Amino acid sequence: MTDTQKTRVAVLVGSLRADSVNRKLAELLRDEAATDVVLDIVEGLDRLPFYNEDIDGENAPAAAVAVRERVALADRVLAVTPEYNGTLPAVLNNAIDWLSRPYGAGAISGKPFAVIGTTPTPYGGKWAHEDAARSAGIAGAKVVADATVSHPAGEGDVLVDRDARAKLHDAIAKLVAFAPETTAA
Ligand SMILES: Cc1cc2nc3c(=O)[nH]c(=O)nc-3n(C[C@H](O)[C@H](O)[C@H](O)COP(=O)(O)O)c2cc1C
């Protein structure tokens, strides 16, 4: 199977930390992806300016154009993120904001979307994941509700334990299998 025949999943990582568990998780999931799936970790979220309509449009910043192009190429979008103060990290929400415009035609519009991640707390970042799903949905993505996984670190180290990682692979499989409802013409 060639890469063009595979389902392409753009991955947005919500942590910029060099030693980020969620980035390492995204890289592991990419390396272990099914043979018919490509996980493409979208780089450059840290170079996106804060979203500002005054700088968007025909002369949008190069960093935004690059991120939009990478996501536009994908069939699906997956966020892998920790939680900051009970919600999604600003870097991820900012990326979703850039991907939501032009209104109705943003790169995330119409793409099946799922969100997963891990944090050290017993809730595993569930508020971040709920909020990321809501933000992406309002941005025009088709949220795959049963593909959200909030993994508490106390329930197994997803970086070393393949069994602990299994539900994250399942979430990606659901995202890939998701067929948006079509309406009859
Ligand atoms: C500013 C800040 C706020 C945080 N708030 C939360 C929180 O609300 N809930 C939570 O589960 N963890 C919270 N954490 C802990 C992160 O989930 C934890 O540091 C996690 O490992 C970060 O993910 P990373 O390793 O991918 O960078 C917070 C961490 C930071 C730096």
Q: Which domains does the chain have, with CATH numbers?
A: 3-177 (3.40.50.360)
The pLDDT value given to residue 145: 87
Taking the chain (185 residues) in consecutive chunks of 10 residues, what is each chunk's mean pLDDT?
90 98 98 97 98 97 98 98 98 98 96 98 98 98 96 96 95 95 57
Ligand 1 centroid, distance to 83 Cα (angstroms): 5
Contact (Cβ atoms closer than 8 angstroms) between residue 78 and residue 114: yes
The pLDDT value given to residue 59: 95
Contact (Cβ atoms closer than 8 angstroms) between residue 96 and residue 90: no
Tally Cβ neighbours within 10 Å of residue 38.
17
Amino acid residing at 136: A
Nearest CA to ligand 1 atom 20: 119
Contact (Cβ atoms closer than 8 angstroms) between residue 117 and residue 81: yes
Place of tokens 């190429």: 73
Q: Is 122 in the pocket of ligand 1 (CB under 6 A)?
A: no
Nearest CA to ligand 1 atom 18: 119
Q: What is the pLDDT of residues 146-177, one digit of tens each?
A: 999 999 999 999 999 999 999 999 999 999 99
The pLDDT value given to residue 4: 82
